[in-house]
Amino acid sequence: GALCLHVDDLFVAGDKEFLERVVHALRRDFQVGFEDKSDIMFVGQRIRWTKDSKGFPYIRVDQDLCVDELEEIALEKGVSDSTPCPPSLHTSFRSVLGQINWLQSRTQYPFCYSFSRSASCAAAPSVADVMALNKLVRSIKLEPADLRFWPLQGNLRIIGYPDAAYRNNSDFSSQRGQAIFLAEPRNKHQNSKGSLVEFE
């Protein structure tokens, strides 16, 4: 089994013996205020067992509540794109960037690259950088992603998709990225399942 603890949030998963022994000991030694099974909130993420359209069960992880809290940064009209952000706007930029960092590092994997480009501007953002960050906020709110973890069977394999490009960013830095999946064995029907387990 596995046990994850963050301050006063606890997440436990495992077989029957693990759950009986560990949960029993926790209840004995600590006061448990609230307990859920199969549909829980853990550090801002909703984790639940659900089924796809064909009835296959899987674990869905989303941060929809945190996505809903995202808001664009208000900008004055008529300001040049190249204008450096004044202190108050700079603070707002870093605040929204921090919210997106929390999201993109856990469930919003399609937005990792855009976040990385905005983070590169965090030291001295311009109005154009704020506009790019606002566009990212809109994208996340329009197309939020969730993670799906399937019960996998057979001799599992690790599949990696690395990506890199030399000096392709607007500031001439180099881009890199990766996605790693845990997957079932190949089969001739092309319906083996896999789960995204790491990304950058």
pLDDT in tens, 33-50: 888 999 999 988 999 999
Question: What is the spatial distance between Cα 161 and Cα 189, in angstroms, rounded to a whole number?
Answer: 22
Q: Which two tokens stand for residue 63?
A: 């941060």
Cβ-Cβ contacts under 8 Å for 169 (sequence gap 6 or more): 117, 120, 175
* Whole-angstrom Cα Rg for the chain: 21
Whether the Cβ atoms of residue 128 and residue 85 lie closer than 8 Å to each other: no
Segment 3-14 shows an average pLDDT of 90
Question: What is the spatial distance between Cα 141 and Cα 72, in angstroms, rounded to a whole number?
Answer: 10
Q: How many CB atoms lie within 10 A of CB 86?
A: 9
pLDDT for 190 beyond 80: no
pLDDT for 84 beyond 80: yes
Residues 86-117 pLDDT 10s: 999 999 999 999 999 999 998 998 999 999 99
Whether the Cβ atoms of residue 58 and residue 51 lie closer than 8 Å to each other: yes
- Indicate the average pLDDT of the chain: 92
Spatial CA neighbour of 41 closest among 6, 4, 1, 9: 9
pLDDT of residue 168: 85
